Amino acid sequence: MRLRPFSALAALALASAGLVLPLTSASARPMAGVDTVAATCETHTDEVGGRHATGPTRFDPHELSDAKAASMNAQLVRDMAARGVTTTRGGATQKGKPGGGGGTFQPAVVPVHWHVITDGAQGNLTGSKLAGQISVLNAAYSGSGFSFQTVSTDYTNNPTWYNGITNGSTAEKQMKNALHVGGKGDLNLYTADLGGGLLGWATFPKSTVDPMDGVVMLDESLPGGSAAPYNLGDTATHEIGHWLGLYHTFQGGCNGNGDYVDDTNAEASPAYGCPTGRDSCASKPGTDPITNFMDYTDDACMNRFTTGQVSRMQASWLTYRAA
Protein backbone atom coordinates (compact mmCIF):
# COMPACT_ATOMS: atom_id res chain seq x y z
CA MET A 1 0.00 0.00 0.00
CA ARG A 2 1.16 3.64 -0.45
CA LEU A 3 0.99 6.82 1.53
CA ARG A 4 2.04 10.42 1.21
CA PRO A 5 4.99 11.73 3.17
CA PHE A 6 4.67 11.51 6.89
CA SER A 7 2.12 13.84 8.38
CA ALA A 8 -0.85 13.53 10.67
CA LEU A 9 -2.64 11.87 7.76
CA ALA A 10 0.14 9.36 7.29
CA ALA A 11 0.26 8.56 10.99
CA LEU A 12 -3.46 7.95 10.97
CA ALA A 13 -3.11 5.70 7.95
CA LEU A 14 -0.37 3.78 9.71
CA ALA A 15 -2.84 2.79 12.35
CA SER A 16 -5.46 1.45 9.99
CA ALA A 17 -4.37 0.56 6.46
CA GLY A 18 -3.31 -2.09 3.81
CA LEU A 19 -1.07 -2.22 -0.19
CA VAL A 20 -0.61 0.00 -3.50
CA LEU A 21 1.87 1.37 -6.16
CA PRO A 22 2.71 4.38 -8.44
CA LEU A 23 2.57 4.63 -12.25
CA THR A 24 4.49 5.70 -15.31
CA SER A 25 3.27 5.37 -18.85
CA ALA A 26 4.94 2.65 -20.88
CA SER A 27 6.29 5.26 -23.26
CA ALA A 28 7.62 7.61 -20.57
CA ARG A 29 9.29 4.94 -18.45
CA PRO A 30 12.63 3.39 -19.44
CA MET A 31 10.84 0.09 -19.92
CA ALA A 32 13.07 -2.85 -19.15
CA GLY A 33 10.02 -5.05 -19.02
CA VAL A 34 9.88 -8.41 -17.31
CA ASP A 35 13.12 -10.31 -16.94
CA THR A 36 11.43 -13.37 -18.42
CA VAL A 37 7.91 -14.00 -17.16
CA ALA A 38 7.54 -11.94 -13.37
CA ALA A 39 -2.46 -18.39 -0.63
CA THR A 40 -4.88 -17.62 1.17
CA CYS A 41 -7.04 -14.51 0.88
CA GLU A 42 -5.18 -11.84 2.79
CA THR A 43 -5.50 -8.15 2.03
CA HIS A 44 -2.71 -5.66 1.43
CA THR A 45 -3.24 -1.94 1.31
CA ASP A 46 -0.78 0.57 -0.11
CA GLU A 47 -1.10 4.22 0.76
CA VAL A 48 -0.29 7.33 -1.13
CA GLY A 49 -2.33 10.10 0.34
CA GLY A 50 -5.70 10.88 -1.17
CA ARG A 51 -6.63 13.45 -3.79
CA HIS A 52 -6.47 16.29 -1.28
CA ALA A 53 -3.06 15.51 0.27
CA THR A 54 0.28 16.65 -1.09
CA GLY A 55 3.53 14.85 -1.87
CA PRO A 56 2.21 11.25 -1.93
CA THR A 57 4.53 8.46 -0.76
CA ARG A 58 3.91 4.72 -0.87
CA PHE A 59 3.32 3.12 2.45
CA ASP A 60 1.89 -0.12 3.83
CA PRO A 61 0.92 0.14 7.48
CA HIS A 62 -0.24 -3.47 7.57
CA GLU A 63 2.69 -5.49 6.38
CA LEU A 64 2.34 -9.23 6.73
CA SER A 65 4.28 -10.60 9.67
CA ASP A 66 7.10 -12.97 8.74
CA ALA A 67 5.16 -15.79 10.39
CA LYS A 68 2.03 -15.04 8.35
CA ALA A 69 3.99 -14.81 5.10
CA ALA A 70 5.67 -18.14 5.88
CA SER A 71 2.33 -19.76 6.68
CA MET A 72 0.77 -18.50 3.44
CA ASN A 73 3.75 -19.69 1.42
CA ALA A 74 3.65 -23.13 3.04
CA GLN A 75 -0.05 -23.38 2.17
CA LEU A 76 0.70 -22.47 -1.44
CA VAL A 77 3.36 -25.19 -1.64
CA ARG A 78 0.94 -27.76 -0.21
CA ASP A 79 -1.82 -26.71 -2.58
CA MET A 80 0.54 -26.80 -5.55
CA ALA A 81 1.48 -30.36 -4.69
CA ALA A 82 -2.16 -31.38 -4.20
CA ARG A 83 -3.10 -29.97 -7.62
CA GLY A 84 0.00 -31.26 -9.39
CA VAL A 85 1.13 -27.73 -10.27
CA THR A 86 4.77 -27.43 -11.33
CA THR A 87 7.11 -24.56 -12.08
CA THR A 88 10.36 -24.76 -14.00
CA ARG A 89 13.85 -23.91 -12.85
CA GLY A 90 17.04 -24.33 -14.81
CA GLY A 91 15.19 -26.39 -17.40
CA ALA A 92 14.02 -28.93 -14.82
CA THR A 93 10.45 -29.21 -13.63
CA GLN A 94 10.04 -28.91 -9.88
CA LYS A 95 6.96 -29.25 -7.73
CA GLY A 96 6.39 -26.94 -4.80
CA LYS A 97 8.91 -24.29 -5.84
CA PRO A 98 6.72 -21.20 -6.27
CA GLY A 99 9.59 -18.70 -6.29
CA GLY A 100 12.15 -20.56 -8.38
CA GLY A 101 13.47 -19.82 -11.84
CA GLY A 102 11.45 -19.07 -14.93
CA GLY A 103 10.99 -21.12 -18.06
CA THR A 104 8.11 -20.78 -20.49
CA PHE A 105 4.60 -20.61 -19.06
CA GLN A 106 1.18 -20.94 -20.59
CA PRO A 107 -0.36 -17.60 -21.50
CA ALA A 108 -3.38 -16.39 -19.56
CA VAL A 109 -5.67 -13.56 -20.61
CA VAL A 110 -7.10 -12.09 -17.41
CA PRO A 111 -10.66 -10.76 -17.84
CA VAL A 112 -10.99 -7.33 -16.23
CA HIS A 113 -14.24 -5.97 -14.80
CA TRP A 114 -14.09 -2.22 -14.13
CA HIS A 115 -16.25 -0.77 -11.36
CA VAL A 116 -15.94 3.01 -11.57
CA ILE A 117 -17.37 4.65 -8.46
CA THR A 118 -18.32 8.34 -8.58
CA ASP A 119 -20.06 10.93 -6.44
CA GLY A 120 -21.82 12.31 -9.46
CA ALA A 121 -19.33 15.12 -10.04
CA GLN A 122 -15.98 13.37 -9.52
CA GLY A 123 -14.58 10.00 -10.50
CA ASN A 124 -16.12 9.68 -13.96
CA LEU A 125 -13.13 8.05 -15.62
CA THR A 126 -13.33 7.99 -19.40
CA GLY A 127 -13.10 4.84 -21.47
CA SER A 128 -9.80 6.08 -22.90
CA LYS A 129 -8.36 6.45 -19.39
CA LEU A 130 -9.35 2.87 -18.52
CA ALA A 131 -7.87 1.68 -21.82
CA GLY A 132 -4.66 3.54 -20.96
CA GLN A 133 -4.44 1.65 -17.68
CA ILE A 134 -4.87 -1.68 -19.47
CA SER A 135 -2.05 -0.68 -21.85
CA VAL A 136 0.23 0.05 -18.88
CA LEU A 137 -0.59 -3.35 -17.37
CA ASN A 138 0.07 -5.20 -20.59
CA ALA A 139 3.43 -3.44 -20.96
CA ALA A 140 4.41 -4.14 -17.34
CA TYR A 141 3.43 -7.83 -17.53
CA SER A 142 4.87 -8.37 -21.00
CA GLY A 143 6.80 -11.65 -21.04
CA SER A 144 5.12 -12.95 -17.88
CA GLY A 145 2.46 -14.97 -19.66
CA PHE A 146 -0.26 -12.64 -18.35
CA SER A 147 -2.22 -10.11 -20.35
CA PHE A 148 -5.31 -8.12 -19.42
CA GLN A 149 -8.50 -7.46 -21.35
CA THR A 150 -11.50 -5.38 -20.32
CA VAL A 151 -14.70 -7.42 -20.58
CA SER A 152 -17.11 -5.19 -18.64
CA THR A 153 -17.35 -1.66 -17.25
CA ASP A 154 -19.97 -0.19 -14.95
CA TYR A 155 -20.38 3.23 -13.34
CA THR A 156 -21.95 3.67 -9.90
CA ASN A 157 -22.93 7.05 -8.45
CA ASN A 158 -22.60 6.49 -4.69
CA PRO A 159 -20.91 9.24 -2.62
CA THR A 160 -20.63 6.92 0.41
CA TRP A 161 -18.59 4.44 -1.58
CA TYR A 162 -16.65 7.09 -3.47
CA ASN A 163 -15.59 9.57 -0.80
CA GLY A 164 -13.00 8.18 1.60
CA ILE A 165 -13.60 4.43 1.30
CA THR A 166 -11.01 2.37 3.22
CA ASN A 167 -9.89 -1.23 3.38
CA GLY A 168 -12.18 -3.38 5.56
CA SER A 169 -14.85 -0.72 5.91
CA THR A 170 -18.58 -1.30 5.74
CA ALA A 171 -18.64 0.74 2.53
CA GLU A 172 -16.09 -1.57 0.91
CA LYS A 173 -18.09 -4.66 1.86
CA GLN A 174 -21.32 -3.17 0.55
CA MET A 175 -19.66 -2.07 -2.68
CA LYS A 176 -18.00 -5.39 -3.44
CA ASN A 177 -20.99 -7.52 -2.51
CA ALA A 178 -23.13 -5.42 -4.84
CA LEU A 179 -20.74 -5.19 -7.79
CA HIS A 180 -18.33 -8.15 -7.83
CA VAL A 181 -18.73 -10.42 -10.87
CA GLY A 182 -17.08 -13.58 -12.18
CA GLY A 183 -14.94 -16.26 -10.62
CA LYS A 184 -11.48 -16.68 -9.13
CA GLY A 185 -9.73 -15.75 -12.36
CA ASP A 186 -11.76 -12.59 -13.00
CA LEU A 187 -10.06 -9.36 -11.95
CA ASN A 188 -12.48 -6.88 -10.40
CA LEU A 189 -10.96 -3.37 -10.39
CA TYR A 190 -12.64 -0.66 -8.31
CA THR A 191 -11.76 3.06 -8.54
CA ALA A 192 -12.72 5.75 -6.03
CA ASP A 193 -11.32 8.66 -3.99
CA LEU A 194 -9.87 6.50 -1.22
CA GLY A 195 -9.60 7.56 2.41
CA GLY A 196 -6.71 7.37 4.86
CA GLY A 197 -4.17 8.49 2.26
CA LEU A 198 -4.50 5.16 0.45
CA LEU A 199 -3.37 4.43 -3.09
CA GLY A 200 -5.10 1.08 -3.14
CA TRP A 201 -5.28 -2.46 -1.84
CA ALA A 202 -5.58 -6.02 -3.13
CA THR A 203 -6.47 -9.52 -2.04
CA PHE A 204 -4.21 -12.55 -2.37
CA PRO A 205 -5.48 -15.56 -4.34
CA LYS A 206 -7.38 -18.39 -2.68
CA SER A 207 -9.19 -21.54 -3.78
CA THR A 208 -12.80 -20.34 -3.46
CA VAL A 209 -14.82 -17.57 -5.08
CA ASP A 210 -14.98 -14.58 -2.72
CA PRO A 211 -16.99 -11.42 -3.47
CA MET A 212 -14.36 -9.41 -1.57
CA ASP A 213 -11.67 -10.51 -4.04
CA GLY A 214 -10.15 -7.83 -6.25
CA VAL A 215 -8.19 -4.59 -6.37
CA VAL A 216 -9.28 -1.13 -5.18
CA MET A 217 -7.39 1.88 -6.54
CA LEU A 218 -7.28 5.63 -6.11
CA ASP A 219 -8.86 6.95 -9.31
CA GLU A 220 -6.17 9.60 -9.72
CA SER A 221 -3.44 6.91 -9.78
CA LEU A 222 -4.43 5.88 -13.30
CA PRO A 223 -2.25 7.19 -16.15
CA GLY A 224 -2.60 10.95 -16.42
CA GLY A 225 -4.17 11.35 -12.97
CA SER A 226 -3.20 13.92 -10.35
CA ALA A 227 -1.54 11.60 -7.79
CA ALA A 228 2.05 12.29 -8.95
CA PRO A 229 4.50 10.63 -8.66
CA TYR A 230 2.03 7.74 -8.60
CA ASN A 231 -0.01 8.66 -11.65
CA LEU A 232 1.50 6.49 -14.37
CA GLY A 233 -0.64 3.42 -13.73
CA ASP A 234 1.68 1.26 -11.64
CA THR A 235 -0.42 1.28 -8.52
CA ALA A 236 -2.49 -1.20 -10.50
CA THR A 237 0.66 -3.07 -11.59
CA HIS A 238 1.79 -3.39 -7.97
CA GLU A 239 -1.59 -4.35 -6.55
CA ILE A 240 -2.24 -6.95 -9.24
CA GLY A 241 1.16 -8.42 -8.31
CA HIS A 242 -0.34 -9.08 -4.86
CA TRP A 243 -3.53 -10.39 -6.50
CA LEU A 244 -1.29 -12.88 -8.31
CA GLY A 245 0.49 -13.94 -5.12
CA LEU A 246 3.56 -11.69 -4.78
CA TYR A 247 4.83 -10.18 -1.53
CA HIS A 248 6.79 -6.93 -1.31
CA THR A 249 10.48 -7.16 -2.17
CA PHE A 250 11.31 -6.03 1.36
CA GLN A 251 9.13 -8.65 3.11
CA GLY A 252 11.29 -10.16 5.85
CA GLY A 253 14.02 -7.52 5.59
CA CYS A 254 17.62 -8.70 5.28
CA ASN A 255 16.95 -12.04 6.93
CA GLY A 256 16.26 -15.08 4.79
CA ASN A 257 13.89 -15.42 1.85
CA GLY A 258 11.25 -12.96 3.00
CA ASP A 259 9.38 -12.64 -0.30
CA TYR A 260 9.88 -16.34 -1.18
CA VAL A 261 11.45 -15.50 -4.52
CA ASP A 262 15.01 -16.61 -5.27
CA ASP A 263 16.17 -13.76 -7.46
CA THR A 264 15.05 -10.59 -5.68
CA ASN A 265 17.94 -9.07 -3.73
CA ALA A 266 17.55 -8.69 0.01
CA GLU A 267 16.13 -5.33 1.11
CA ALA A 268 15.85 -4.11 4.69
CA SER A 269 12.94 -1.72 4.19
CA PRO A 270 10.87 -0.13 1.44
CA ALA A 271 12.58 2.30 -0.92
CA TYR A 272 10.97 5.63 -1.87
CA GLY A 273 11.63 7.95 -4.76
CA CYS A 274 14.30 6.30 -6.93
CA PRO A 275 17.43 5.88 -4.74
CA THR A 276 19.84 4.43 -7.31
CA GLY A 277 22.57 2.32 -5.70
CA ARG A 278 20.75 1.92 -2.38
CA ASP A 279 22.11 -1.09 -0.47
CA SER A 280 20.20 -1.60 2.77
CA CYS A 281 21.51 -5.16 3.26
CA ALA A 282 25.24 -4.66 2.80
CA SER A 283 26.05 -8.16 4.04
CA LYS A 284 23.97 -9.70 1.23
CA PRO A 285 24.81 -9.73 -2.49
CA GLY A 286 23.41 -7.06 -4.77
CA THR A 287 21.87 -3.64 -4.29
CA ASP A 288 18.23 -3.05 -3.41
CA PRO A 289 15.66 -3.95 -6.12
CA ILE A 290 14.39 -0.38 -6.40
CA THR A 291 13.14 -0.82 -9.97
CA ASN A 292 10.97 -3.79 -9.03
CA PHE A 293 7.21 -3.30 -9.26
CA MET A 294 6.82 -4.76 -5.75
CA ASP A 295 8.92 -2.09 -4.00
CA TYR A 296 7.58 1.37 -2.99
CA THR A 297 9.50 3.59 -5.38
CA ASP A 298 7.96 6.17 -7.73
CA ASP A 299 6.08 4.87 -10.75
CA ALA A 300 8.75 6.23 -13.08
CA CYS A 301 11.40 4.20 -11.22
CA MET A 302 9.64 0.83 -11.49
CA ASN A 303 10.08 -1.29 -14.60
CA ARG A 304 10.43 -5.00 -13.89
CA PHE A 305 9.39 -8.28 -12.36
CA THR A 306 12.08 -10.94 -11.95
CA THR A 307 12.05 -14.45 -13.39
CA GLY A 308 11.32 -15.83 -9.94
CA GLN A 309 8.43 -13.46 -9.38
CA VAL A 310 6.90 -14.54 -12.68
CA SER A 311 7.32 -18.17 -11.63
CA ARG A 312 5.53 -17.45 -8.37
CA MET A 313 2.69 -15.59 -10.08
CA GLN A 314 2.25 -18.45 -12.52
CA ALA A 315 2.24 -20.98 -9.68
CA SER A 316 -0.38 -18.99 -7.77
CA TRP A 317 -2.50 -18.54 -10.89
CA LEU A 318 -2.45 -22.25 -11.79
CA THR A 319 -3.06 -23.33 -8.20
CA TYR A 320 -5.87 -20.94 -7.33
CA ARG A 321 -7.19 -18.66 -10.03
CA ALA A 322 -7.10 -20.93 -13.09
CA ALA A 323 -8.36 -23.97 -11.15
The model's pLDDT over 176-195, given as tens digits with 9 standing for 90+, comes to 999 999 999 999 999 999 98
Mean pLDDT for the stretch of residues 302-316 = 93
Please give the radius of gyration of the chain, using alpha carbons only, rounded to the nearest integer: 18
Please give the pLDDT value at position 27: 29
> Is 143 a domain residue?
yes
Task: Examine residue 156 and state whether it is found in any structural domain, yes or no.
Answer: yes
Distance between CA atoms of 211 and 208, rounded to whole angstroms?
10
- What's the structural domain count of the chain? 1
Residue 3 lies in a domain: no
Least confident of 14-23, 48-57, 112-121, 192-201: 14-23
What is the per-residue pLDDT for 232?
Answer: 98
pLDDT band at 59 (very low <50, low <70, confident <90, very high): low
> 135 lies in a domain?
yes
Is residue 2 assigned to a domain? Answer: no
Quote the pTM value.
0.83
Report the CATH number at residue 166. 3.40.390.10
215 vs 180: CA distance, rounded Å: 11
Whether 204 maps to a domain, the answer reads yes
Tell me if residue 63 is catalytic.
Answer: no
| Set 47, 172, 220, 239: catalytic member | 239
Instruction: State the DSSP string of 73-113.
Output: HHHHHHHHHHHT-EEEETTEEEES-TTS-------EEEEEE
Evaluate whether residue 207 is within a structural domain.
yes
Q: What is the pLDDT of residue 106?
A: 73
* 109 in Cβ contact with 147 (< 8 Å): yes
State the residue range of the domain holding 133: 8-321
User: For 211-250, how does the pLDDT look when each residue is reduced to its tens digit (9 = 90+)?
Assistant: 999 999 999 999 999 999 999 999 999 999 999 999 999 9
State the average pLDDT over residues 11-27.
30
